Amino acid sequence: MPTGNPYDFCKRLLIIYLFNRNYDKLKQRLVNQTFLLVTLLILIIISEIFLHVAMPAFLDLPNGVSGELNDFVVRGNFDASVAHKKVGAFRILGISDSFADQLRLQGFNYHDFLLRKLQALPGGERFEIINAGMPRTGPGYYWNTLKQHGDLINPDLVLVGFFLGNDFKEMKFDNKFIGQFISVPRHDDWRRYFKLNNYWCYQYLVNKEKILEDNFRRDYEFAKGLVREKGTFSRKGFYKIEQGKLWFFEKRLQAQLRDLFQPDAGVLLQMKQWCDDRNIELVIAILPTEIQVDNGMRAEVLDALKVKEDSLDFDYPNALLKNYLEKHRIHYVDLTGPMRQAAQTKRLYVLRDTHWNIEGNKLAAEIIFTCLQEHKLLPAVVAGK
For 173-220, the pLDDT digits (tens) are: 765 555 555 555 555 556 666 677 777 777 777 778 888 999 999 999
At residue 17, the 3 state secondary structure works out as helix
Q: Fill in the DSSP letter of residue 2.
A: -
pLDDT at site 61: 46
Q: Which residues contact 332 (CB under 8 A, 6 or more apart)?
A: 283, 284, 285, 286, 321, 322, 325, 326
Q: Could you give phi then psi for residue 157, rounded to 5 degrees? A: -150, 140
pLDDT in tens, the chain (385 residues): 455 566 666 666 666 665 565 656 666 777 777 888 888 888 888 877 777 666 555 555 444 455 667 677 767 778 778 888 999 999 999 999 999 999 999 999 999 999 999 999 999 999 999 999 988 889 998 998 999 899 999 999 999 999 999 999 989 876 555 555 555 555 555 666 667 777 777 777 777 888 899 999 999 999 989 999 999 999 999 999 999 999 999 999 999 999 999 999 999 999 999 999 999 999 999 999 999 999 999 999 999 999 999 999 999 999 999 999 999 999 999 999 999 999 999 999 999 999 999 999 999 999 999 999 999 999 875 555 4
- In CATH terms, the superfamily for domain 61-374 is SGNH hydrolase (3.40.50.1110)
pTM above 0.85, yes or no: no
Question: 374, exposed or middle or buried, with CB in 10 Å at 0-12, 13-18, 19+?
Answer: exposed
Residue boundaries of the structural domains of the chain: 6-54, 61-374
